[in-house]
Structure 1
Amino acid sequence: MSAEKMTPHQIDLSDAEHDVFDRVRRMHGLASVAEAMEWLVRIRLRKGIEQITGRRRGPRLVSSGGKPQ
């Protein structure tokens, strides 16, 4: 993960929604409900990208230190 700071956003949660995020936080050893929300968003984005591209991760840059031609 990058060290960049994200712009904070206020999200109002019901008690039931907060309980779900808190359960996710505890299951994955995260420090806060906000981290649990971010973790869930990242997982959903990865799954969506995988469905679109058929690959688990995005494209990577090819290094120039490969095998000689």
Structure 2
Amino acid sequence: MLTKAVEHLIKNIVDFPDDVSVKSHESSRGEHIRVRVNPEDIGRVIGRQGRTASAIRTVVQAIADHNVRIDILDARR
């Protein structure tokens, strides 16, 4: 459910929604979600001084019942 929520949030703010990839796995510290976006969209997803990324993390943590870590990467990596 969280991966779908993250994917929905990210796809609605990027210019290349088809390039968005969201994968999740469990670790000993909680859920780890990796988001890959087109390199041209990385600035849009992170936002000025990380405000957009922070807002996305806050929303996801609010709907989660466990610890969630979100990493935002560009598609080249």
- TM-score, length basis structure 1: 0.30
- TM-score, length basis structure 2: 0.27
The structure with the larger Rg is: 1
